[in-house]
Amino acid sequence: MWDSLYRFSTGRLAWFLMFLTTLGLELTALFFQHIMLLEPCVMCIYERVALFGIMGAALLGLCNPKQPAIRWSALVLWIYSAWQGLLLAWEHNQLQVNPSPFQTCDFMVRFPSWLPLNKWMPGIFEAYGDCAQDQWHWLGLTMPGWLIVVFAAYLIVAIVIALGMAIGKEKRSMWR
């Protein structure tokens, strides 16, 4: 099993599939924002950035998955982004489940001055909504609830792939 995971992680298909899933989730977020007119809040935007981090990891891994330094760098970015996304989604969920006037999110997104994403691409990174407002449900979960599931799944898969990369071995053929 570990050898199979190792081989899977060294192929472009694995990284391309991860890229496609993140692209699908980002397009879904934009659909909710621009077509269904759900206003994204500050936490939504930060969760979106974490998902873009996973997408960046997929693109990095897609560049040259056979190169261990690139593969491990992509994996570290993947785990970090999934973990941060999970923490953000959990905090966002708590704001909706246990609303309090003393526990709120920021009024506007705060990006570094050298990377003002909300100024460069306001249609994607500008927040207008209230974090405590529950705007959408599906199968009993809110948007942050589903993001907890999504980021936890990305994190679990990343840990399993990391174990495969650490434990598994590359199969050598006498023909190579």
Which of 7, 63, 71, 105 is labelled catalytic? 105
Within 8 A by CB and 6+ apart from 174, the residues are: none
Catalytic residue (choose from 7, 110, 131, 176): 131
Instruction: Kindly state the helix (H) or strand (E) to which residue 141 belongs, with its residue range.
Output: strand 141-142
Q: Looking at 48, 71, 110, 176, which residue is catalytic?
A: 48
Residues 6+ apart with CB under 8 A from 30: 124
Contact criterion met (CB below 8 Å) for 47 and 88:
yes
Identify the CA nearest to 173 among candidates 11, 8, 7: 7
- Please identify which of the residues 7, 12, 44, 110 carries the catalytic annotation: 44
Does 63 participate in catalysis according to the annotation?
no
Q: Does residue 48 carry a catalytic annotation?
A: yes
- Indicate which residue of 7, 41, 63, 71 is catalytic: 41
DSSP string spanning 46-59? HHHHHHHHHHHHHH
Residues with a catalytic annotation lie at 41, 44, 48, 105, 131
